[in-house]
């Protein structure tokens, strides 16, 4: 299958829904080991004078989730904001505003993953340097995730950890809408999609919410 390096024209032709479908299709190819063949050096040359990514992804710093790889995308296709626990702050919000309002991306995907170390740390109330304040941003998800009486609420409970990761994605999306007037307005006007996703580290499959 032939590949296309994104241009201003190709980016403009992609709707928010199409952008999400392109990512879904890319992950399907990845899981089936049918990734597109790309001349990455040629894409370097083609994007040297400008970039026109069709989507932006907020994902975890986890080394098992190289975003372009698991979505089977090439150089110039997607923006990446990677931080432990796929949270947002002013810097990441500003980056997303640049991606969508200035550079024309049509979708934002907030992607968590199973067995997330940052989420485990938040569940365990880990304390370590700057990591402490970062994990504090995940704790609302911990507090809002219910468990049955007597069920462990720490990293030893895998199901709980993954449920917290789900809730954390949901809260990150809420924070984007709450703390970025630019992105919230674009979303309300249908200019961008804003969607959550979870990556399964056991299978490589991404489930969209």
Tokens representing 14 are 């992609």
Q: Which residues are annotated as a binding site?
A: 60, 62, 113, 116
Residue 133 makes CB contacts below 8 A (sequence gap 6+) with none
Three-class SS state of 195: strand
Rounded to 5 degrees, what are φ and ψ at 166? -60, -50
Using an 8 Å Cβ cutoff, are 102 and 77 in contact? no
Rounded Cα–Cα distance for residues 156 and 177 (Å): 32
Q: Which residues are annotated as a binding site for Zn(2+)?
A: 60, 62, 113, 116
Using an 8 Å Cβ cutoff, are 185 and 207 in contact? no
Rounded Cα–Cα distance for residues 19 and 50 (Å): 19
Among 85, 150, 89, 86, residue whose Cα is nearest residue 123: 85
Tokens representing 148 are 């049955």
């Amino acid at each position: 299958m032939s590949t296309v390096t994104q241009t201003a024209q190709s980016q403009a032709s992609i709707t928010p829904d199409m952008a999400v479908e392109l990512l879904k299709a890319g992950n399907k190819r990845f899981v089936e080991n049918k990734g597109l063949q790309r001349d990455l050096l040629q894409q370097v040359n083609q994007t040297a004078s400008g970039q026109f990514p069709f989507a932006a992804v907020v994902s975890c710093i986890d080394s098992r989730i190289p975003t372009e790889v698991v979505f089977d995308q090439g150089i110039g296709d997607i923006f990446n904001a990677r931080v432990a626990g796929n949270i947002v702050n002013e810097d990441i919000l500003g980056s997303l505003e640049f991606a969508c309002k200035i550079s024309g991306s049509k979708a934002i995907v907030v992607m968590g993953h199973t067995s997330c170390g940052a989420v485990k740390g938040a569940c365990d109330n880990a304390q370590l340097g700057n990591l402490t304040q970062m994990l504090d941003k995940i704790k609302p998800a911990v507090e809002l995730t219910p468990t049955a009486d007597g069920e462990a609420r720490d990293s030893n409970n895998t199901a709980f950890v993954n449920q917290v990761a789900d809730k954390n994605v949901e809260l990150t999306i809420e924070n984007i809408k709450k703390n970025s007037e630019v992105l919230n307005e674009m979303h309300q006007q249908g200019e961008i999609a804003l969607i959550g996703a979870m990556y399964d580290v056991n299978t490589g499959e991404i489930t969209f919410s």
